[in-house]
Structure 1
Amino acid sequence: MTSRKSWRRVDGVLLLDKPTGLSSNSALQAARRLFSAAKAGHTGTLDPLASGLLPLCFGDATKFSTDLLAADKTYETELLFGLRTDTGDADGTVVMRCPVDFGLAELEAALPRFRGPIRQVPPMYSALKRDGKPLYELARQGIEIEREAREVIIHELRLLDFSGDRCRLRISCSKGTYIRSLADDLGAALACGAHLTALRRVAVGPLQIADAVTLDHLAAIVEEDRTGWLLAPDALLQSLPAVYLEELAGRRFVHGNLVSSDAVPGRCRVYAENRLLGLGEVDGQGNLQPRRVIGAR
């Protein structure tokens, strides 16, 4: 008889170095099993083709997983020029072949137009929905619909290497940026087409790939040692100012009540007695409103 998994309460943030070929949900479930975590979630998906930083949340940290969705992301990517695919990456079908007859000077001259605020058309092979159906499902049926261009911000677009028909780029960008679309647009600007052959996410907001761990490493160590890789739940909130409350005000906060605060208006992470209470927001009248709270233990 097969024994059932014994789940336990685990609270914290795991910075996972996701391998290629694995979906974000599959990576999440594998990590969840390694920690025997009763509750788990992620902070946004990373394509199976891509590797790199995938912050995972366990227990209390899942309450703040959406707060990292709006964070800037940083990638290192490789492009192959001369071939355009229907997905914008190496998993797709080649739809155009062109000779590559530009050099380093032409590539460097093309990059500035993709820095700063730009308008970008989302790819058909994306999880965006139209009438409740993901665009990639329509694309697999051979259906292409018009998509509205939207503004994203490319904070950094730096050439790391160029050799013949390939280049490597470092890209720091705002929420909603599609690196596959950026590659496709750069290929169009150089009149030869291009697609991604590799993509690695190296940062999400203040979180860095240097602090991440692989599933293989976690599997190779005992469960007690794995907890050493967990960050506190407020690792997801470090970009917000901290507000510290007295014990009584803290109890009122976790029960959903307004408390007074002289903090600067805006969102904040809230503590009392050296414990994270949750996420709050201060209004212009000095009222601290609970937005998401962690219940008393």
Structure 2
Amino acid sequence: MKSSASKIQRRAVNGVFLLNKPLGISSNAALQKVRWLYRAQKAGHTGALDPLASGLLPICLGEATKFSHFLLDSVKRYQTTIQLGHSTTTGDVEGEQLLEQAVPELTEELIEAVLAQFVGDIQQVPPMYSALKKDGRPLYELARKGIEIEREARPVTIYAIELLSFTADSITLDITCSKGTYIRVLGEDIAKALGTYGHLTYLHRIKTGHFDLIPSYTIEYLESLSEQEREALLLPVYAPVDHFPKVQVPEGRSEYFSRGMESNIEHTAEAQVLVFDGEKCLGLAEITDKKRLVPKRVLNL
């Protein structure tokens, strides 16, 4: 029996879409929606946001997925509000209330002194409600069954924490951090250092690598556009690494590069360069100290 809805015809779409992810859906659900709207054959996101988090989620389509790991590994920036006074099972408003303790009198001096303790290289224990796996099973599946296992602390880096505002029982922060940082855990730890418990009520990502929240676009806006207008929103395939040095492929060597073959090049050594043939990006390469252009990631455009 045929489906009443015709099967979507996937196509080769290459580029980066800057999504402003809404609250209430997972990063994967948002990714699949964007992929469906573009009818893209291949897509990947660049660092998951919790369903109760919103903000910048760059989506790599087609050949751009070859550069997505550079954004996964990049510095992130968030704005968040920590509600003080009690903790929850999940570290945010979705969880059930756990421990409760009175909030001490807050002053700007007290908060700033506590925040300073968390700037730099720190150790962080991942939460049970996370996508990390134990024996192939996500920790959140175990947590939902009331099972808690020991987790090893992991090194993360907090580059900056700015106090944006505070009330008698909440603080709002601007945080710049390394990949792998759990803002929920950081919020809990800051609350404990203030002498109470806490959980996140707001989390919004405003920067991923060199990409800012503005300009980014909502799913609703994307839905309102024609296919041609949607394609106009796409950044180039190489946008995740646009800050890398750029070189022109040696004359007559474009096809060889695209086959993954090395070439001689008159250029100083570079660990990573974007290689172009005119305005067409061929891929990513290394230039050795022997002036050899070595393809690392070849684009099929």
Cα distance between partner residues in 2 of 1:281 and 1:138: 44
Equivalent runs, 1:1-297 vs 2, <5 Å? 1-104=4-107, 105-261=109-265, 262-295=267-300, 297=301
Residues 104 and 194 in structure 2, CA contact (< 8 A), matched pair in contact too: no
What per-residue deviation string (whole Å, max 9, x for no partner) do you get for residues 171-210 of structure 1? 0101111101100110111121111111000000110101
Pairwise CA distance, 1:247: 3.8
Amino acid at match of 1:220: S
Cα distance between partner residues in 1 of 2:8 and 2:97: 44
Residues 23 and 53 in structure 2, CA contact (< 8 A), matched pair in contact too: yes
Cα distance between partner residues in 2 of 1:283 and 1:150: 34
- Between stretches 138-147 and 189-198, larger displacement belongs to 138-147
Secondary structure of the structure 1 residue equivalent to 2:286: strand
Residues 43 and 54 in structure 1, CA contact (< 8 A), matched pair in contact too: yes
Structure 1's 287 and 102: CA in aligned 2 closer, same or farther, altered over 3 A? farther
Cα distance between partner residues in 1 of 2:101 and 2:83: 12
Secondary structure of the structure 2 residue equivalent to 1:236: helix
Residues 157 and 178 in structure 2, CA contact (< 8 A), matched pair in contact too: yes
What per-residue deviation string (whole Å, max 9, x for no partner) do you get for residues 122-161 of structure 1? 1111111222222212222222222221211111100001
Amino acid at match of 1:276: C
Cα distance between partner residues in 1 of 2:208 and 2:178: 10
Q: How many residues align?
A: 296
CA RMSD, aligned part only? Answer: 1.5
Cα distance between partner residues in 2 of 1:196 and 1:147: 21
Cα distance between partner residues in 2 of 1:266 and 1:203: 25
Amino acid at match of 1:74: R
Amino acid at match of 2:50: D
Pairwise CA distance, 1:49: 0.7
- TM-score, normalised to structure 1, is 0.95
Residues 243 and 263 in structure 1, CA contact (< 8 A), matched pair in contact too: no
What per-residue deviation string (whole Å, max 9, x for no partner) do you get for residues 250-279 of structure 1? 222211112234233312222122211112
What per-residue deviation string (whole Å, max 9, x for no partner) do you get for residues 69-124 of structure 1? 11000000111001111211111121101111231232121110011111111111
- TM-score, normalised to structure 2, is 0.94
Gaps of 5+ in 1: none
